[in-house]
Chain A
Amino acid sequence: GAGVSQSPSNKVTEKGKDVELRCDPISGHTALYWYRQSLGQGLEFLIYFQGNSAPDKSGLPSDRFSAERTGGSVSTLTIQRTQQEDSAVYLCASSLGTDPGELFFGEGSRLTVL
């Protein structure tokens, strides 16, 4: 596709359930990022993938959060045993990986944990 694609756009789940959020980056972009945007909290960096290197997980808030990137393309962010404070918009971005460079963001996945 032309841009970064994320799915689902909206997800409502019950506390304690696991959720998976998907990101399809722009073709050819080697860098992929996950951010979380909460009301009043701004954008919070979660995890960064660059090519085939090990991801930088320094922004993940707890061990309930994990992400993988298969084949250097599609990425999945998994949240286990969701809590109400996990409710947020999860944004994925990709870039050519040049330093520094422009990030291309998807429209986000809005997660609501009841």
Chain B
Amino acid sequence: SQELEQSPQSLIVQEGKNLTINCTSSKTLYGLYWYKQKYGEGLIFLMMLQKGGEEKSHEKITAKLDEKKQQSSLHITASQPSHAGIYLCGADIGLNSGYALNFGKGTSLLVTP
């Protein structure tokens, strides 16, 4: 099965600073999904990347997919306390029966005043 490694495992940044989270796959990435989980809550979909070189943005969060490196990065510009939470990347497990995601272990982000 596909393994997804996220780095760093945890991150503490000062409000207003930029940060990057990486997700590296052990296999070719045909699609990569980013989710955010607030502490004690379910996961919220952020964005989906399907093509090599694709880049998407949502408010101050930008994600890119590098197929050659089998990697995706998520960049937050001018971080705010509302960005705090756990960021998880997901990729298609490749079920024979259909479609489901395999997830990385997540990156915990804390934004300090």
Contacts and interface: CB of A to CB of B under 8 A. Distances in A.
Q: How large is the interface on B (under 10, 10 to 19, 20 to 34, 35 or more residues)?
A: 20 to 34
A53 interface: yes
Given A100-B50, A103-B43, A42 B103 contact: yes
B99 A101 contact: yes
Contacts of A59: 100
A70 interface: no
Interface string B40-71: 11111100101000000000000000000000
A68 interface: no
B93 A31 contact: no
A56 B95 contact: yes
20 contacts: A40-B105, A41-B105, A42-B104, A42-B105, A43-B88, A43-B106, A45-B93, A48-B95, A48-B100, A54-B97, A56-B96, A56-B98, A91-B42, A100-B48, A101-B99, A103-B43, A103-B101, A105-B43, A105-B44, A107-B41
Interface of B: 31, 33, 35, 40-45, 48, 50, 88, 90, 92-93, 95-106
A54 B96 CA distance: 12
Nearest to B40: A107
